[in-house]
Amino acid sequence: MALTDLPEEQLRAYRGQVAEPADFDRFWADTIAESRECGWPVRVEPVPTGLATIDVHDVTFPGFAGQPVRAWLRLPRGVEPPLPAVVQYAGYGGGRGHPLENLLWASAGFAHLQMDTRGQGAGWARGDTPDPAAAGPEAPGVLTRGVTDPRTYYYRRFLTDAVRAVDAARTLPAVDPARVAVLGHSQGGAAALAVAALRPDLRAVVAGVPFLCDIPRAITVTDAYPYREVRDFLAIHRHAEERVLATLAYVDGVNFARRCHLPGRFSVALMDEIVPPSTVFAAVNAWRGPTEVSVWRYNGHEAGGIDDDEAAVRFLRVHLSPDRAPDGPQPDRQGAWPAQRGSAGEPRPPVGGPSRRPS
C-alpha cells in the first residue's frame, strides 16, 4: 500500500467536483416529512446479556416510509438519566452486530444507540433489518440499487433511517434530547454527515474516513469496492451516466457538508484505497462549522483505529457536556431547517480547529 491520491498540501486545499441539485433541500425536507407522517411508537425490549456494567435493549423504530429498523440501545448501568446520547451508524456491509459488541460508548457514560443497516449485515457484522424495496438492475452490493432515480435510490432510504434513528433516540426516557451526537466510520461517517445537515440541532458529529463524498471523483480514482460498483454498473449501462451522477449528487457528503454548522471531528488516511483522501478533504473544506481533523499518513481505511476512538470520546465529552451551549443554529424539535443557507456557489469560511497528526 502507498499514497493513493494527491500530495498532502494539495489535499488540504481540495474542494471537490460534485454539483448540487437545485431541489436538494426540498428533496430531503419532503423525504423526511413523508417518513415522519408514517411514524409509530418506538419499541424497546431488554436483552439479557450477563454484563455487569451495561444494560442492552433491543430497539425497533420507524424508518423510511415507516418501515421497521432495528437498533441496539446500550446504557451504562447505575448512571442517573437523562444521559447524553451517541447515535452510531455502521460501515458498508455491516449491521448492528451482536449485543455484546461495541461497548465503548456506553462504558464511557453515553447512551449508545447503534442503528442497524437495512439490507446489509452479512459482510462483517450481522444485521436484522431488510430493505423491502425492489428497484431494478444493480451491480452486486447496494451502491447502485435504484441509482437511476433519486426517489428509488437505496441511500435515500438508508439516510432517512439515520435521521429517524435520532428522532427515536430523543424519545427514549434515558436520553437527554438536547445532548445528542452522531458518529460513524466510512458508510457510517457518510450517514453522520447527512444527519448533521438534516438535523442541525444536534450537538456534534464524528465522521471517520466518510464514504459517499465527492463521488464523481471517487469512482474515477479508486479501483476498490464499494465505489467500483458504480463503474461496474456504468460499464454495462453505458448510457445511464448522466442519470446516475445526478442521483448520487443527492446523497453526496460534500453537499451535506455545505449545510453543516455543527462541530465536526474527521479522520482521513492518506493510504486509503477505499475512500480516497481527497474526497474526505472535499467534505472537510465544505464544512461550515468548527472542525478537528486527524490525518493518518501511513494508514489505509482503518485510519486511526483506537486512537480515533480515544479522540472521539474526548471530543464528545466536551460537546455533550450539560454546561456547554449548542454551537450550531437551533431549529424547532421537529428539525425545521435554519432560515439562512449557503448555496453551492457561495464562498465558504476556512476550516477551523486543530489538524491532529499521529505521533
Q: Is 272 a catalytic residue?
A: yes
Q: Is 186 a catalytic residue?
A: yes
Residue 58 parent element (H or E) = strand 54-62
Instruction: Choose the catalytic residue: 272, 294, 308, 319.
Output: 272
CA dist., res. 152 & res. 161, Å (int): 15
Q: Is 35 a catalytic residue?
A: no
Q: Is 325 exposed, middle or buried (0-12, 13-18, 19+ CB in 10 A)?
A: exposed
Helix 187-198, helix 154-169: angle, nearest 10: 70
CA dist., res. 207 & res. 185, Å (int): 6
CA dist., res. 104 & res. 183, Å (int): 13
Q: Is 9 exposed, middle or buried (0-12, 13-18, 19+ CB in 10 A)?
A: exposed
The reply to whether omega before 263 is within 30° of 0 (cis) is: no
Instruction: Choose the catalytic residue: 5, 35, 131, 186.
Output: 186
3-state secondary structure of 68: strand
CA dist., res. 321 & res. 10, Å (int): 36
Instruction: Choose the catalytic residue: 112, 185, 301, 319.
Output: 301
Q: Which residues are catalytic?
A: 186, 272, 301
